[in-house]
């Protein structure tokens, strides 16, 4: 199984690249945001539990997020050559839980790849995206910078976690979509 964790700040192009990579390598793309939206929209038991926390303004506990992710993986088990995790893990405890879950299946994280880009370039990308996406968090520069600060604080320990496992790779996230896809492929092809 080829299991890739894709990192990157908002606007780095994770979703765009995931579309190309999932087809090229026959991977199942699992976006934590999509999984949450599905469970909430379909009023699943896990969605109801998540809504309980969200309605109080609390963060959804890792244990619940991990259960949603596990269900999503198990839906595709046996029909995919691996998984492309987008937006998960975000913390070391989540990474440890992902490792435990994958090990229980006889798998492991193959590589974690970070799409690196200058904050100023990404801020402009998101502001531009905000003109058409309708997302309020893509239209306010202060909110964008706040998201980057949170990303930096939470992700730095995660980078060290994967570097310690010798599974961390950085890829330049600036350039054309095709150029970035090629850079990502050079990393993934080492394991495929």
Annotated binding site for AMP: which residue ranges?
32, 37, 58-60, 87-90, 94, 135, 147
Select which of 14, 67, 125, 183 is catalytic: 14
Instruction: Name the burial class of residue 11, with classes exposed (0-12), middle (13-18) and buried (19+) by CB atoms within 10 angstroms of its CB.
Output: buried
Per the annotation, the verdict on 135 as an active-site residue is yes
- Name every residue whose Cβ is closer than 8 Å to that of residue 179 and which is 6 or more positions away in sequence: none
Classify 44 in phi/psi space as left (phi over 0), alpha (psi -120 to 50) or beta: beta
- In whole angstroms, what is the distance from residue 180 CA to residue 13 CA? 9
Q: Which residue among the candidates 75, 81, 100, 135 is catalytic per the annotation? A: 135
Catalytic entry in 24, 51, 129, 154: 129
State the Cα angle at 104 between 99 and 107, rounded to 5°. Answer: 65
183 catalytic? Reply is: no
Active-site residue, from 24, 51, 90, 154: 90
Torsion of CA 28, 34, 35, 36, to 10 degrees: 170
100: annotated active-site residue: no
Binding-site residues for ATP, in ranges, read 11-16, 129, 175
Residue 88: CA count within 13 A, CB half-sphere: 28
Task: Give residue 46's Cα distance to chain centre.
Answer: 20
Residues linked to residue 2 through DSSP beta bridges, in sequence order: 82
Q: Is 14 a catalytic residue?
A: yes
Active-site residue, 129 included: yes
Q: What residue numbers does the annotated binding site cover?
A: 11-16, 32, 37, 58-60, 87-90, 94, 129, 135, 147, 175
For the chain, report the end-to-end CA distance as a whole number of angstroms.
9
- Catalytically annotated residue among 9, 22, 75, 147: 147
Catalogue the active-site residues.
Answer: 14, 90, 129, 135, 147
């Amino acid at each position: 199984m080829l299991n890739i964790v894709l990192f990157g700040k908002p606007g780095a192009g994770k979703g765009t690249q995931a579309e190309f990579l999932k087809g090229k390598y026959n991977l199942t793309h699992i976006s934590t945001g999509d999984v949450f939206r599905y469970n909430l929209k379909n009023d699943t038991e896990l969605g109801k539990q998540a809504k309980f926390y969200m309605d109080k303004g609390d963060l959804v506990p890792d244990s619940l997020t991990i259960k949603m992710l596990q269900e999503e993986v198990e839906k595709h088990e046996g029909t995919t050559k691996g998984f492309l995790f987008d937006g998960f893990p975000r913390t070391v405890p989540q990474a440890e839980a992902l490792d435990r879950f994958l090990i229980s299946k006889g798998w492991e994280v193959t590589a974690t790849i970070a799409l690196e880009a200058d904050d100023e370039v990404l801020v402009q990308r998101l502001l531009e995206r905000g003109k058409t996406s309708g997302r309020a968090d893509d239209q306010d520069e202060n909110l964008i910078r706040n998201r980057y600060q949170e990303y930096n604080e939470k992700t730095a320990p995660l980078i060290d976690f994967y570097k310690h496992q010798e599974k961390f790779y950085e890829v330049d996230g600036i350039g054309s979509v095709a150029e970035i896809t090629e850079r990502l492929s050079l990393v993934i092809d080492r394991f495929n």
